[in-house]
Structures are given as C-alpha cells and as structure tokens.
Amino acid sequence: MNLTLFDLDNTLLNGDSDFEWSQFLIRIGVLDRELFEARNQAFYDHYKAGTLDIHEFLDFQLKPLSRHARITLDEWHRQFMREQVLGMITQPARDLVERHRAAGDVCVIITATNSFVTAPIAREFGVENLIATEPEHKGGEFTGNVADVPCFREGKITRLENWLAARGWNMDSFADSTFYSDSLNDLPLLARVKNPVAVNPDATLRAHAEQHGWKVMSLR
C-alpha cells in the first residue's frame, strides 16, 4: 500500500484557490476592493516568499466567512467553482491524480487553504481524503476562527500524523510515500516522504530539489 500526497494551490491547480476566493468575493461585491485587494496581494506575496504569518492571514481569510450564512457561502462557492476553479484544473493534473487512484494508492490532498474553499475542489479531483486548515464552526455557521493546527509548513506534518494515527497508520505503514508540491513552504513535509516531487516549483524549491536529486515536473 502506497501513500500519495498532493498539495493543491499551484500544484494540482494552475493558480491559488485561497487568493482567488478573496478576489472572487471582491469581484461580486462581497468584499470592498479598496480595503481588501491590496492586503490579499500582500499576504500572497508573503506566502510565496516564505514569510507568511499564518495566524494573521487566517484572521483575514476566515473572518468574512463568519459574516454570512452558510447557505449563502455555499451558493457563492458553486459560482466560484464554475467561474474560476474549473479553469485552473489542467488535464495533466487530473491524469496524475487518476493514475495514483487507479493504482490503489491512499490519496490525500493536503493544503494550507481552508476546507470550506478546498473540499469541493478535492471532490472535483475524485480525492476522498482532504487535510486542510479547518475553520471553526458552531451550529453549522463559521465563527471566523481557526480550529486545530493550521495545515501550514510544519503544521502539515502534525496534521498528517494525526490523520494517519486516527486510522491506525503512520508513515512506516506504507511501502512507498510521495508528496507533490510547488512551494518552499512544503519543504518540511517533502523531506519526510520517500519520493518528494517538485511540481511547477518556486525558485527556492527548485534549487533544493536539484541539489538533492528530487524529481521536478510540470502539470501545466
């Protein structure tokens, strides 16, 4: 039995669903462009540079969820999927996931982006297992806070280990383990699997991959 992990944004997706969700809310008039667009871009730039304060970002990203009913958010997300996300999914990305699913691997999308944004995207890929940053909710509505450890940098390892332990597994339970990612932020988890794969990598990850003999590929 093999374990295959996929990062989502800029790996399986040709773009960043976190960033694009905020841009979508700005475009449909839910968020004020003047107040939110520059901050959204700044957070994205910090993420790419490896300097993101995840808690500051999650406060920015999750608070809008708490201001609207879940039924309204779900309708906006369906529109977001149609208008933005489907165009970010390339055929090579779909093919890669399907190859691992057909081989019988335990497939997991593991992403820093919150599960409200990413769960429908994981379903679009046919991946049942999602480990994502979890927004807190009460009575089915979002509070604007984060629940559990954010699934970011070393937090991805913590969340993965907890997910495996809940199923009676650990990393040694698998004959092989693979992680596909584009980002320097995923270097901690990439270093923990047997087959780290740099996908459309940023400059830092590309240099690290080349230095350590990791596979480098593109899904675009």
* Digit-coded pLDDT (tens) for 108-150: 999 999 999 999 999 999 999 999 999 999 998 999 999 999 9
How many whole angstroms separate alpha carbon 28 and alpha carbon 163? 36
Residues ≥6 apart with Cβ < 8 Å to 63: 144
How many whole angstroms separate alpha carbon 75 and alpha carbon 53? 30
- Mean pLDDT computed over 16-30: 95
pLDDT digits 0-9 by tens, 33-89: 988 888 989 998 999 898 989 889 888 889 889 999 999 999 999 999 999 999 999
pLDDT number for residue 122: 98
pLDDT number for residue 55: 87
- Alpha-helix runs per DSSP H in the chain: 17-27, 33-49, 54-66, 70-80, 91-102, 115-125, 154-165, 187-190, 203-212
What residue segments make up the domains of the chain, in order of their start?
2-217
What is residue 205's three-state secondary structure? Answer: helix
- 189 pLDDT more than 90: yes
How many whole angstroms separate alpha carbon 154 and alpha carbon 158? 7
How many whole angstroms separate alpha carbon 182 and alpha carbon 98? 19
Annotated catalytic residue 95: no
How many whole angstroms separate alpha carbon 45 and alpha carbon 12? 20
141-147 vs 129-138, strand pairing mode: antiparallel
pLDDT number for residue 210: 96
How many whole angstroms separate alpha carbon 121 and alpha carbon 125? 7
CATH code that applies to domain 2-217: 3.40.50.1000
How many whole angstroms separate alpha carbon 217 and alpha carbon 199? 5
Annotated catalytic residue 7: yes
Annotated catalytic residue within 7, 16, 105, 182: 7
